[in-house]
């Protein structure tokens, strides 16, 4: 499988994550000094000091939230592109995985099994899927901190549908009648999902030791393909939803 990653974007955002991390600490320390400065002096704080005292905590809070979100998306391990590539190990060498080119679809896979827009979740918690929602099993305090950091699991199915629709429009500009399937993939090996209802889209693990996982999903897709076109290794090796020329056009227009 060929990997095509927007390394420039990933590297830049990881650098920004580092800057935000240190900037957050600096803001918190500065805020502590500014807010408590009046304790060490008898002077009445002037207007500028009062404004600084009022503004520093909201600024520090915003920096904290942005830093945490950037860390989860760009610096947290396992990195999505690595986890997905590991989960797809053994896929046809004609396949190509695009990382960070087709937002909101952060990962797009073109392989003999089809075209897939992959939405990932980094969360390492235990969830129950029921009535279209993922409910975490964290305690009240953990849920509170997740809420103020805006790092809950959200609605991955809705995000995946939106991402798939965006990729579909791009594919439609290259080829007719090539459907894009949306997938949700949890990349952390510690993630656990209990399915009480059937999700509207495939929800998979990147870890092949868990079920349902990305590797088995692609294997089942290949089995369906074999039943449709005949179990011919030579034929399946060359079978792709897009021709080489169409893939080149797609890359030129979107990467």
How confident is the prediction along the chain (255 residues), in pLDDT tens digits per residue?
999 999 999 999 999 999 999 999 898 888 888 777 766 666 666 677 778 778 888 888 899 999 999 999 999 999 999 999 999 999 999 999 999 999 999 999 999 999 999 999 999 999 999 999 999 988 888 877 787 777 889 999 999 999 999 999 999 999 989 999 999 999 999 999 999 999 999 999 999 999 999 999 999 999 888 777 665 454 444 578 999 999 999 999 998
The pLDDT of residue 238: 53
Alpha carbon distance 65, 221 (integer Å):
40
- In angstroms, the Cα distances linking 56 to 61, 64, 185 are 9, 12, 38
Residues in the chain: 255
Which tens digit of pLDDT belongs to each residue from 83-94?
999 999 999 999
The pLDDT of residue 49 is 72
Distance (Å, whole) CA 143 – CA 122: 16
The per-residue pLDDT for 234 is 45
Query: Minimal CA–CA distance to 225: which of 206, 205, 215, 239?
Result: 239
Give the pLDDT score at 55: 84
Contact 14, 74 (CB under 8 A): yes
- Element (DSSP H or E) covering residue 183: strand 180-186
Query: What residues contact 134, with CB distance under 8 A and at least 6 apart?
Result: 127, 128, 153, 155, 156, 193
CA dihedral 237, 217, 90, 105 (to 10 degrees): 90
Phi, psi (deg, nearest 5) at residue 82: -75, -40
Q: Where are the domains of the chain?
A: 2-75, 80-254
Report the pLDDT value the prediction gives residue 235, as an integer from 0 to 100.
46
CB-CB contact of 119 with 183 (8 Å): yes
Distance, in Å, from the CA atom of 78 to the CA atom of 220, rounded to the nearest integer, reads 25
Give the count of alpha carbons within 13 A of 53, CB side only: 12
What is the per-residue pLDDT for 115? 97
**Neighbouring residues of 140: CB distance < 8 A, sequence distance ≥ 6:** none
* DSSP 8-state assignment for residue 1: -
Nearest to 89 by CA among 57, 111, 72: 111
pLDDT at position 230:
61
Q: How far apart are CA 54 and CA 211, in angstroms?
A: 50
Contact yes or no for 207/214 (Cβ under 8 A): no
Strand, coil or helix: 132: coil
- pTM check: above 0.95: no
Query: 179, 168 in Cβ contact below 8 A?
Result: yes
Could you give the CA distance from residue 119 to residue 160 in angstroms, rounded to a whole number?
Answer: 5
């Amino acid at each position: 499988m060929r990997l095509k990653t927007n390394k420039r974007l990933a590297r830049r955002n990881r650098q920004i994550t580092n800057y935000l991390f240190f900037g957050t600490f600096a803001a918190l320390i500065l805020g502590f000094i500014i807010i408590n400065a009046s304790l060490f002096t008898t002077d009445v704080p002037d207007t500028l000091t009062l404004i600084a005292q009022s503004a520093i905590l909201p600024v520090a809070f915003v920096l904290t939230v942005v830093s945490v979100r950037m860390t989860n998306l760009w610096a947290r391990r396992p990195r999505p592109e690595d986890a997905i590539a590991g989960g797809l190990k053994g896929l046809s060498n004609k396949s190509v995985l695009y990382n960070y080119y087709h937002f909101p679809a952060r990962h797009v896979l073109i392989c003999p099994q089809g075209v897939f827009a992959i939405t990932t979740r980094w969360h390492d918690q235990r969830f129950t899927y029921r009535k279209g929602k993922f409910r975490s099993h964290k305690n009240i305090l953990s849920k509170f901190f997740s809420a103020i950091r805006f790092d809950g699991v959200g609605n991955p199915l809705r995000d995946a549908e939106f991402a798939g629709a965006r990729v579909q429009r791009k594919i439609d500009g290259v080829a007719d009648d090539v459907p894009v399937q949306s997938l949700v993939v949890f990349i952390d090996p510690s993630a656990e999902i209990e399915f009480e209802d059937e999700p509207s889209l495939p929800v998979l693990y990147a870890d092949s030791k868990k079920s349902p996982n990305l590797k088995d999903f692609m294997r089942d897709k290949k089995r369906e393909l074999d039943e449709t076109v005949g179990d011919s290794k030579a034929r399946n090796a060359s079978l792709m939803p897009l021709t080489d020329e169409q893939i080149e056009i797609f890359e030129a227009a979107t990467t």
